[in-house]
């Protein structure tokens, strides 16, 4: 029997299905990886915004991780929305306990509606607890600026920021440039501590980008679970999310979700 790649997402639930756990599981499924979840929070949200958040008890988060890893096993995992330090501490402990080497850290801080999803003190803990365990960390420009503490409007500043993520312990970092409206292309900066690689894709003018970061990091996780190198995983994930953005579903009255099955069009 062939080995089935297994991926775990540790993140918040999005009732609208466009981001969070739901986006991650959809992405895993599309990329033929068996998906599992440990839910850190339940959110009431849709394409118009977040109307409520209920954090999950840290002990239940721990039990979810214990349950799936001890029985099914994990080839790669990712973190998304983590609302408090206690849950972050639990996740870090479990990643170490189960020696989950392929960890993708998506530092989710603000939703598309502008709602803060990570408490202020948890941002500092993120740098101390999870980033040092990351095989790949995937901040977008606003998230990187918050973590670094300064504007990153120049390429040189982004390179310095990437080095800081490596100094904090991450093995690889990709600073996503989708928020940089000064660029004709959507350019991400990948760094492994030695070499910088720019990943460029066409920029699409659409409001239907809800869950873009979740989907991108989930795709990286899926490819890592398949045994792909971090750089190739990011390359493939970039293609996957570009397809998802360029073929919007036109769902909802606000910032609609990306199209998780759009990549199939390349194979038809």
Paired tokens of 165? 């993520």
Please confirm, yes or no, whether 209 is among the known catalytic residues. yes
φ, ψ of residue 214 in degrees (nearest 5): -60, -45
Catalytic residue among 47, 78, 214, 258: 214
Q: Among residues 209, 215, 221, 258, which one is catalytic?
A: 209
Residue 176 designated active-site: yes
Q: Single out the residue of 116, 77, 72, 73 nearest to residue 95, CA to CA.
A: 77
Residue 79 annotated as catalytic: no
Q: Is 227 a catalytic residue?
A: no
> Cβ neighbours of residue 15 under 8 Å, at least 6 residues apart?
42, 43, 44, 45, 46
Task: Return the axis-axis angle of helices 141-148 and 155-167, rounded to nearest 10°.
Answer: 60
3 state DSSP class of 61: helix
Q: For residue 88, report the phi and psi dihedrals to the nearest 5 degrees.
A: -65, -40
- The continuous run of DSSP H or E covering 7 comes out as strand 6-14
Q: Which of 17, 35, 177, 213 is catalytic?
A: 213
Residue with tokens 């973190």: 79
Of these residues, 211, 215, 226, 256, which one is catalytic? Answer: 211
Of the residues 9, 79, 212, 258, which is catalytic? 212
Length of the chain: 268
User: Which residues have a Cβ under 8 Å from the Cβ of 153 and sit 6 or more positions away?
Assistant: 180, 182
Q: Is 138 a catalytic residue?
A: no
Counting DSSP H helices and E strands in the chain, the numbers are: 8, 9
User: Are 78 and 38 in contact, with CB atoms under 8 Å apart?
Assistant: no
CA distances (Å), 83 to each of 39, 107, 230, in order? 11, 11, 27
Catalytic residue (choose from 176, 178, 256, 258): 176
Which sequence positions are flagged as catalytic? Answer: 176, 209, 211-214
């Amino acid at each position: 029997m062939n080995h089935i790649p297994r991926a775990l997402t540790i993140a918040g639930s999005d009732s609208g299905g466009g981001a969070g756990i739901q986006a991650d599981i959809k992405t895993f499924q599309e990329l033929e990886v068996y998906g599992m979840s440990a839910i850190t929070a339940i959110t009431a949200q849709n394409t118009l915004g977040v109307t409520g958040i209920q954090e999950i008890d840290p002990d239940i988060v721990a039990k979810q991780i214990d349950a799936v890893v001890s029985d099914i096993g994990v080839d790669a995992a990712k973190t998304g929305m983590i609302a408090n330090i206690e849950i972050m501490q639990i996740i870090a402990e479990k990643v170490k306990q189960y020696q989950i080497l392929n960890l993708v850290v998506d530092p989710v801080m603000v939703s598309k509606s502008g709602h803060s999803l990570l408490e202020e003190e948890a941002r500092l803990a993120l740098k101390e607890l999870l980033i040092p365990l990351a095989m790949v960390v995937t901040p977008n420009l606003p998230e990187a600026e918050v973590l670094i503490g300064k504007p990153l409007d120049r390429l040189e500043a982004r390179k310095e920021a990437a080095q800081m993520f490596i100094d904090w312990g991450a093995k690889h970092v990709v600073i996503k440039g989708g928020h940089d409206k000064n660029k004709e292309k959507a350019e991400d900066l990948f760094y492994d501590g030695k070499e910088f690689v720019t990943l460029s894709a066409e920029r699409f003018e659409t409001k239907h980008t809800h869950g873009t970061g979740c989907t991108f990091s989930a795709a990286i996780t899926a490819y890592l679970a398949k045994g792909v190198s971090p750089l190739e995983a990011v390359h493939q994930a970039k293609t996957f999310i570009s397809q998802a953005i360029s073929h919007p579903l036109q769902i909802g009255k606000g910032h609609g979700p990306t199209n998780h099955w759009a990549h199939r069009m390349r194979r038809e």
